[in-house]
Chains A and B, each alone.
Chain A
Amino acid sequence: AQTVTQSQPEMSVQEAETVTLSCTYDTSESNYYLFWYKQPPSRQMILVIRQEAYKQQNATENRFSVNFQKAAKSFSLKISDSQLGDTAMYFCAFMIPFQGAQKLVFGQGTRLTINP
């Protein structure tokens, strides 16, 4: 079974600082997808960034980037120049593609607080 582990239940940084959220996963599959989702206080689930396992290049989306280490099964999220609006729960998630619907397996989440 696939598992996703986020070892940091809470983190707190000052506005404009850089913060890195950790995620590790366990799978025997070679082809899969990894995601980071943001859940602000409104509780909406918002896709932040996506990484295909077969791509060596780390995904980036503006201030958000990942450090994908396939051999180590690690997928960390870096937020640069953090903003107050980045305050949220962040969930790492894993998906195995196959024909038909593909479920996401989520980690426990990291509560990130950006302080002014």
Chain B
Amino acid sequence: EPEVTQTPSHQVTQMGQEVILRCVPISNHLYFYWYRQILGQKVEFLVSFYNNEISEKSEIFDDQFSVERPDGSNFTLKIRSTKLEDSAMYFCATGQGNYGYTFGSGTRLTVV
């Protein structure tokens, strides 16, 4: 069964450093998303990406965050200057429309 692949599985970074989280979507999917889950809390929407542009973003997705799909395959989330409160599980998800998404296995980001 097709999978969404996320790398790395765990990233530890110093506060203030830039991190890039990577996702390889399922090949025929057109919609791409990033969600985050702070430990023990609910899953929160960050951003959606369609037709090579952001279609919607949440209040969490401020100027420190950016997304791109530079080579038509990888879909990346960049956090420019990490804060302690950015520590969370970050999920990439991809989909074809209204059928629900396929989530990746997540990247655990720890900011120290």
B49 adjacent to chain A (CB < 8 Å): yes
B contact face: mostly helix, strand, loop, or mixed = strand
Q: Please tell me the number of chain A residues within 8 Å of chain B, measured between CB atoms.
A: 25
Chain A residues near B89 (CB, 8 Å)? 43
Q: How long is the Cα–Cα vector from A100 to B49 in the complex, in angstroms? A: 8
Number of A-B contacts (CB under 8 A): 68
Identify the interface centre among A47, A91, A100: most chain B CB within 10 Å of its CB. Answer: A100
Q: Which residues of A contact B (CB under 8 A)?
A: 33, 35, 37, 42-47, 50, 52, 91, 93, 95, 97, 100-109
26 CB-based A-B contacts, threshold 8 Å: A33-B98, A33-B100, A37-B103, A42-B105, A43-B37, A43-B89, A43-B108, A44-B105, A45-B91, A45-B106, A47-B101, A50-B99, A91-B43, A95-B98, A97-B97, A100-B31, A100-B50, A100-B55, A100-B56, A101-B49, A101-B50, A101-B55, A102-B48, A103-B58, A104-B43, A108-B42
